[in-house]
Structure 1
Amino acid sequence: MRCVTELRILDLTKEYRGGRRAVDSFSLTLRPGVLGLLGANGAGKSSLMRILATVTRPTSGRVLWEGEDVARRPGPLRRAVGYLPQDFGVYPQLTAREFLAYLAAAKGMRRRAARARIEELLDLVNLSGAGGQRLGAMSGGMRQRVGIAQALLNDPALLIVDEPTVGLDPEERLRFGSLLSGLGADRIVVLSTHIVPDVAATADRIAVMGGGRLLHHGSPEELLRTAEGAVWELTVEAGQLALLRSRFLLGGTTRTPQGVRVRVLSGQRPAPEAQPVAPRLDDAYLLLTAPATAERVAAW
């Protein structure tokens, strides 16, 4: 059993040229389990992930791994981290085994230990029968599973995966989520994404990012509670949809024989015929991150 690990992020800020803050005074403590890091594109998730993976340095603030400042002693975290970046690149002419062997050698692993570890990981990501297949001939989902395997070569205590399911079909996304859930049993897994269902199926903790800041952190149930009493449904004619959208934040629409069934996110009943419904995680996420359009008018 792996010892309990802890990663502390303290008032972290990352600025780029022109003064743009990608990460702004971000603080969070992580322990074993799966953290779903939710945020729209541009929210600062990838910048934060690169800092945690020691690929880049913060402008200010600190990252503590097992109580030690990573800026002063990056070695322990670098040895403990596995990283699957959003722009994970592969050598298309190499087979999965060749690619993993190349990376194992780059990490300084002994050849015999690397061979055993590669076979173990190919089995873990359900690619045992495809280890001899060239990466260029694999599907996007298979290549992402090779990406997870390379991130796990050093049996990391901290696994960081940045937007791993973009472009994957629903079946591959479910398989990927199941794999990450299992890996979170005895290590810290950070899953960065803007796809709410992926987090709902995988994470035991959720952090919502917006404008580089931490907007919310808690369990999925705690995030759901932030939307209680603020989700409504009503049916309108198709011609009324544009006006409704201009006045309220909409969580989704469904065409029905009676008209368009609309999910409205608002702190007040948007129309007399609107009925309250139970919130979903994507409702709570939208309420936290979208502009406050729902309160700009008094009534529909």
Structure 2
Amino acid sequence: MLELNDITKIHKGRKRAVDGITMRLGTGVVGLLGPNGAGKSSLMRIAATVTRPTSGQLLFQGADVVAKPEVLRRQLGYLPQDFGAYPNLTAREFLSYLAAVKGLAARSARARIDELLETVNLTEAVRRPLGRYSGGMLRRVGIAQALLADPRVVIVDEPTAGLDPQERVRFRNLLSELAADRLVLLSTHIVSDIESVANDIAIVAQGRLLRRGAPEQLLRTVTGHVWETVVGPDSVAAVQARHPVSRMVRTAHGVRVRLLSTTAPGPDATPVSPDLEDAYLAVVGGMPELAR
């Protein structure tokens, strides 16, 4: 459905925000996972036709999107990381305005807006000006506007920022439903958001695509290399200096450490099943020998 061929974006000062990324994207949720500053947002803006690549090719169903962005824009719903709204409008007024801009008929737009306001749990705040919304509520308005025209391609950049845990679950469930017959490209640095919905994960860092695959493929790269051990508080720094540590929990018996190592890190270390956070840590620099 969407093809990115050797996409590169060089900003002023010659910084490569995106460095030669090639991906073919089809139906389903594709999770773009990487640390802050990895180039995710730059890549998402290119895919959403907001900015042009310095070089490379973007195709939608075979058509050149760089030359003719309207080919994709007619089928696109986009939620940028820095989404903003008119503070004096209510959610309904704001969505009605955007529906008119997108060319939706007034009657169908009203029904669609009512449906979306319920989907994002904003029906009780529908008469309140957006300037009085919390950050999480504004994010939900942003999600609704991205879905207004029932797009075939949905691009969402850090969509759960500011959402509480219950809202994040609601949104992830919504993405899963949407992905049944369309492409959803989701960018985040939160591993749990990707882990629960994406059937295809692309890990990026420093503008480059480091690894891509299904969650089970990524987990296989670290199977047998994830350990837990309990150490004294004074030993934590030494452990962190020798091994990538994914998490630590203080207990009555010491600090329980979960880490990556190709061999047992100590006589009392226990091998444990890997999760996506372990695989992500290995790929972005913790254990590059496992990320090949």
TM-score by length of 2: 0.94
Q: Aligned pair 1:155/2:150, yes or no?
A: yes
Q: CA deviation at 1:292?
A: 4.5
| Corresponding residue to 2:96 among 92, 101, 113 | 101
Q: Secondary structure at the match of 1:47?
A: helix
C-alpha distance 186-293 of structure 1, shift in aligned 2 (>3 A): closer
Out of 214, 220, 225, the residue aligned to residue 219 of structure 1 is: 214
CA RMSD, aligned part only?
A: 1.7
Structure 1 segments, 4+ long, off by >4 Å, are 291-295
Q: Give structure 2 stretches of 5+ with no counterpart.
A: none
Q: CA deviation at 1:11?
A: 0.9
Question: Is 1:35 aligned to 2:26, yes or no?
Answer: no
Q: CA deviation at 1:174?
A: 1.2
Counterparts of 1:279 and 1:50 in 2: how far apart (Å)? 33
Residue number in structure 2 paired with 1:298:
none
Give how far 1:69 is off: 1.2
Match of 1:143 in 2: 138
Segment of structure 1 superposing worse, 46-55 or 163-172: 163-172
Q: Report the CA distance between 1:145 and its aligned residue.
A: 1.8
Aligned to 2:80, which of 82, 85, 93? 85
**Partner of residue 119, structure 1:** 114
CA drift of 1:146 comes to 1.3
109-118 or 75-84, which moves further after superposition?
A: 109-118
**Distance in 2 of aligned mates of 1:214 and 1:73:** 26
Whole-angstrom CA distance in 1 between matches of 2:239 and 2:165: 31
Q: Which residue of 2 is the match for residue 18 of structure 1?
A: 13
Equivalent position of 2:4 in the other structure: 9
1:125 is displaced (CA, Å) by: 2.5
Contact 1:37 1:192 survives alignment (8 Å): yes
**What CA deviation, in whole Å up to 9, does each residue of 1:46-88 have, x standing for no partner?**
0000001100000111111001111222111011111000011
Q: Which residue in the other structure is 2:262 paired with? A: 267
How far apart in 2 are the matches of 1:210 and 1:293? 13
Equivalent residue number for residue 179 of structure 1: 174
- Aligned twin of 2:205: 210
Provide the residue aligned with 2:245 in structure 1. Answer: 250
Q: Distance in 2 between matches of 1:168 and 1:109?
A: 28
Query: Could you report, residue by residue, the CA deviation over 1:204-231 in whole angstroms, capped at 9, with x for unpaired residues?
Result: 2111111111111111111111111111
User: Does residue 1:230 correspond to 2:246, yes or no?
Assistant: no
The percent of aligned pairs where both chains have the same amino acid is 58
Alpha-carbon distance in 1 for matches of 2:160, 2:121: 16
2:280 to 265, 271, 285: 285
Shift of 1:141: 2.9
Q: Indicate the SS of the match to 1:10.
A: strand
**8 A contact 2:249–2:256 mirrored in 1:** yes
One-letter code of the match for 2:246? Answer: G
| Unmatched tracts of structure 1, length 5 or more | 1-5, 296-300
Partner amino acid for 1:38?
Answer: L
**SS in structure 2 of the partner of residue 282 of structure 1:** helix
Kept in 1, the 8 Å contact 2:75–2:152? The answer is yes
Tell me by how many angstroms 1:169 deviates: 1.9
Q: CA deviation at 1:233?
A: 0.8
Whole-angstrom distance in 1 between the partners of 2:121 and 2:253: 46
Structure 2 letter corresponding to 1:153: L
29, 54, 63: which one aligns with 2:58: 63
Q: Letter of the 1:104 partner, please give it.
A: A
Normalising by the residue count of structure 1, what TM-score does the alignment of the two structures yield?
A: 0.92
For each residue in 1:216-263, what CA deviation from the matched residue of structure 2 results, as whole angstroms up to 9, or x when unmatched? 111111111111111111110000001111111101101111100001
- The one-letter code sitting in structure 2 at the alignment partner of 1:174 is V
* Count of residue pairs brought into register by the alignment: 290
Q: Alignment partner of 1:105: what SS?
A: helix
Superimposed CA distance per residue, residues 190-209 of structure 1 (whole angstroms, 9 cap, x where no aligned partner): 11000001111121211111
